[in-house]
Amino acid sequence: MATNKANAPAAGMLWGGRFTGGIDPLMHQYNASISYDKFLYKEDILGSIAFARANAKSGIISDDEFAEIERGLREVLKEWDTDTFAIMPNDEDIHTANERRLGEIISKDIAGKLHTGRSRNEQCVCDMRMWLRERIHEIDNHLVAFLQVIIARAEAEIDHIMPGYTHLQRAMAVRFSAWLLSFGFAFASDLERLRETFKRVNKSPLGCGALAGNAFNIDRDMMAKELGFDGILWNSMGAVSSRDFVTEFLQWGSMFMGHISNWSQDLILWCSSEFGFITIADSYATGSSLMPQKKNPDGLELLRGKSGRCFGQLAGFMMTNKALTSTYNKDLQESWEPMLDHVKTISDSVQIANGILSTLTIRPDRMLAALDPTLLATDLADFLVRKGVPFRETHHISGRVVAKSEELGIPMNTLSLEQLKAIDNRFTDDVMDIFNYETSVESRSAKGGTSRSSVLEQIKVLKAIVS
């Protein structure tokens, strides 16, 4: 049966020369990535200009041809920037689309030389690395801004004391600022890890060809410098296939979103009527279509929920990547969408978290009302430690005091000195001084503790990390 040449891929595909039959329409859609890799149009064009410049240096194209290629590519860039670029049916990816349009602007004879010695295997991963590093810079800025709000509130609201929790049970008195800083340091570690990730993202694969390198003595260092890379990837086979930089970013994002989820969970509890420690601004809450009284912390709930989305992207891509043969396989196209969505999810999430924290109102009266004398049970044990009693014994004695207050149905701090002495005669008159929440938090003055001096020291350290 004769082949319909009009339907043959060679009519419009970069790879179609050895094919004689047309591609199945569904397969064409299944194979295409233009719907999402079009967002990397700028990186693709800048990479092509750098590649053409290097080919001109090697003598593969003339200086005049390079000038035409650069002029044409900048025209293509202008069309993308002004939203006038028209995607054609055979534009299966951003590389095909840009090269096709370049040929229409400057002629196919010159445009056809652009791809000399280059493979889409190196081209796509170069685009991805360039795009991701810029997004990392943006996320870095958002995260720094969020940390600055944490620091500012920790400084401004250092006087407020609240219950600290373990197992979601009231445990010890802490400063609200100490809680803020507990997440501040987690997010600061995320910032440090993000900057480490950037170093491995910002390496150039350009000039590695399909897998075996470039046959035209192209200057890889020159291209890397022009494109803002910190260096090159040294093995061509690994450079075109490795998506470790995507995996590492997804790992980073999953850890960060785990921290955001934990932070959100605390605030979701605290804005409930049962706690009432904070009030979320209307701009980050929604209501109910049925119950008029409802004010739901949807911003925080979405932050918590989207962490699962990020975890899933990491797990899914690691499964895709785990059993591939060496160098490039089409499976690696599956790295694009999780990377793109991960970036948007995280970028939006940091900004939403910043907005929530910047606008929420704390309710110190509710925090104070939630403090219970049993939160001072450890302080009671410490009181006897300072009298020379072994801690293991004082722990037991303090537990008996708690049990007595529960038996009598009265707060622990209202037990009389006689009642305390009946439990252990080493209690002295000054024991009543320990039933003070300010005294309790101030006693934790070692580095990292809840005393004012410790919290201020933590703020100083965190400022240094962020700056």
Catalytic residue ranges: 167, 288
SS3 110: helix
Residue partners of 148: CB distance under 8 A and separation at least 6: 466
Q: List, in sequence order, every beta strand (DSSP E) within 269-423.
A: 278-279, 361-362
What is the full DSSP assignment across 28-78?
HHHH--HHHHGGGHHHHHHHHHHHHHHHHHHTSS-HHHHHHHHHHHHHHHH
Number of other residues whose CB lies within 10 A of the CB of residue 27: 10
SS3 250: helix
Spell out the SS3 assignment of 145-172. Answer: HHHHHHHHHHHHCCCCEEEEEECCEEEE
Q: What are phi and psi of 428, to 5 degrees?
A: -120, 175
The residue type of 299 is G
Spell out the SS3 assignment of 75-98. Answer: HHHHHHHCCCCCCCCCCCCHHHHH
Location of structure tokens 């009265």: 410
